[in-house]
Amino acid sequence: MPKLTYLGHAAFIVESSSARFIIDPFLTGNPVATRKAGDVKVDFVLLSHAHGDHLGDAIAIAKANDATVIAANELALYCGSKGAKVHPLHIGGGFSFPFGRVKLTIAHHGSVTDDGTYGGEPAGILLTVDGKTLYHSGDTGLFLDMQLIGEMNKIDVALLPIGDNYTMGIVDAVRAAELLKPGFVIPMHYNTWDVIKADPDDFIRRIRAKGIQGQVVPVDGSYQY
Ligand code: NI
Ligand code: MN
């Protein structure tokens, strides 16, 4: 059973029976994160896109842990140019690793690093470990192809942004959950700053009203799936 731990914003650690992952490790400068990048112990770093609140401490964590960054080609090559081990993928492509499978999906957003380097297309991430599939949508607006992603993948847990402004807000994220039909939904990308203030309990009430399970996972809280 994989264990998911929320680090705040869009950052999560996933621990499976054979590997440890960190997704979008924005810790340094993250007003809600308590964990320090230097304390993170992982084997892989998964990135949805290049924005600073997602790329975050990825390169430092990858180098300190001799971990491999898995991301869209342009962003992976950027991390590689800074000395990280990388495995580039691209949208619609997946790869079966010894630990399981990673596939990138579309996401409607942008992707540029803080130094202005183009990060390729932004992505969502399907991570399958121990026979369970996690969908981290990345930063995205609502899109109808979420229905296809849900039809083609039995999603056990979906991590969906609800903060509005840069991504889906609550109303759109509820619709996303209806399209994806995941077994469980956890909200992300809210309350890091005032501009993405949202009530996660309101989101959970609304998805439960649609017959979808989910829960708010607090920062440093975990969920086993
Ligand atoms: Ni972004
Ligand atoms: Mn973001």
Ranges assigned E (strand) in the chain: 3-8, 11-15, 20-23, 44-46, 68-72, 85-89, 94-97, 100-106, 123-129, 132-136, 157-161, 185-188, 222-224
Task: Please answer whether residues 89 and 72 qualify as being in contact, where contact means their C-beta atoms are separated by less than 8 angstroms.
Answer: yes
pLDDT band at 123 (very low <50, low <70, confident <90, very high): very high
Q: Residue 104 C-alpha to ligand 1 middle, in angstroms? A: 16
Q: What is the pLDDT of residue 61?
A: 98
Closest ligand, as measured to the CA of 196: 2
- Give Cα separations from 198 to 96, 175, 183, 188, 218 (angstroms): 36, 16, 23, 10, 14
Q: Which among 162, 86, 157 has a CA at the least distance from the CA of 119?
A: 86
Query: In whole angstroms, what separates CA 29 from the centre of its chain?
Result: 18
Count of residues in the chain: 225
CATH 3.40.720.10 matches 3-215: no
- Give Cα separations from 176 to 5, 194, 199 (angstroms): 22, 23, 17
- Domain limits of the chain? 3-215
pLDDT band at 39 (very low <50, low <70, confident <90, very high): very high
Q: Residue 67 C-alpha to ligand 1 middle, in angstroms? A: 23
Q: Residue 17 C-alpha to ligand 1 middle, in angstroms? A: 30
Q: What is the pLDDT of residue 195?
A: 98
Q: Residue 208 C-alpha to ligand 2 middle, in angstroms? A: 26
Closest ligand, as measured to the CA of 51: 1
pLDDT band at 18 (very low <50, low <70, confident <90, very high): very high
pLDDT in tens, 80-106: 999 999 999 999 999 999 999 999 999
Give strand pairing partners of 123: 106
Closest ligand, as measured to the CA of 119: 1
Task: Please answer whether residues 212 and 182 qualify as being in contact, where contact means their C-beta atoms are separated by less than 8 angstroms.
Answer: yes
pLDDT in tens, 161-176: 999 999 999 999 999 9
pLDDT exceeding 70 applies to what percent of the chain? 100
pLDDT band at 198 (very low <50, low <70, confident <90, very high): very high
